[in-house]
Structure 1
Amino acid sequence: MQVLRDEMAAAEDLRGNAPFMRMTTGWGSTDDIVDSMLRGDGVDLEKSPDREVRAASRVVEDLLKT
């Protein structure tokens, strides 16, 4: 078995034992889940045009809530 492992290491065929799936959890603000999710995906809600688009979507959300 060691010989086979050495051969695979020499051929750079060893890739480790990565998990099939990874899951992370964390704590954040519950004020606006949409804003939190967008920030988590890299959206900068302080800069244009993202700021304006998010402001417009909040208006639509408020209309749907009433």
Structure 2
Amino acid sequence: MSIKQMPGRVLISLLLSVTGLLSGCASHNENASLLAKKQAQNISQNLPIKSAGYTLVLAQK
């Protein structure tokens, strides 16, 4: 391998590493977002609803 080819290989390796890292972060963020939505939905289902001065309590599933 010539010296001229080495920087290109290093650059490609670096770009692949960064791409892998970013895709891992995106996957983690997507999972965290889904978990947050599920928790918010669970919380909202367990809260009483006030309507026209009355408190309605939803039956839990």
Normalised to the residue count of structure 2, the TM-score between the two structures is 0.31
Which is richer in strand?
Answer: 2
Which is richer in helix?
Answer: 2
Q: Looking at both structures, which has the greater relative contact order when contacts are Cα pairs under 8 Å and sequence separation is at least 6? A: 2
Tell which structure's C-alpha radius of gyration is larger: 2
